[in-house]
């Protein structure tokens, strides 16, 4: 089996955890969010919106078909 065949047929899925907490408020618990089922992820950009909203752009996929996906944290926030 060649290395090329291994990387094309076997995919590892990764998760990224994001913890949000307001500035200067280190004594309360933070909100933890999970982005899962990513293949070889690379964070491209994080846009800080009104707390606690973030827009996270992550490039992921195998080496021949990578794509950039946008994730809104928390998912239940409405876009402005």
34 vs 9: CA distance, rounded Å:
25
Size of the chain, expressed as the number of residues it contains: 80
pLDDT in tens, the chain (80 residues): 445 554 555 678 999 999 888 776 666 677 889 999 999 999 999 998 887 789 999 999 998 899 999 999 986 544 44
Q: Find where tokens 């409405």 sit.
A: 78
Give the closest residue to 31 by CA, choosing from 70, 73, 79: 73
Q: Please tell me the pTM assigned to this model.
A: 0.71
Retrieve residue 46's tokens: 């994080």
Burial pattern 40-70, b for ≥16 Cβ within 10 A else e, equals ebeeeeeeeeeeebbebebebeeeeeeeeee
Q: Domain ranges for the chain, please list them.
A: 3-73
């Amino acid at each position: 089996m060649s290395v090329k065949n291994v990387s094309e047929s076997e995919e590892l899925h990764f998760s990224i955890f994001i913890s949000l907490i307001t500035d200067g408020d280190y004594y309360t618990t933070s909100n933890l969010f999970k982005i899962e089922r990513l293949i070889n992820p690379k964070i491209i950009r994080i846009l800080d919106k009104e707390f606690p909203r973030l827009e996270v752009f992550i490039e992921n996929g195998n080496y021949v078909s990578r794509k950039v996906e946008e994730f809104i944290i928390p998912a239940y926030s409405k876009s402005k």
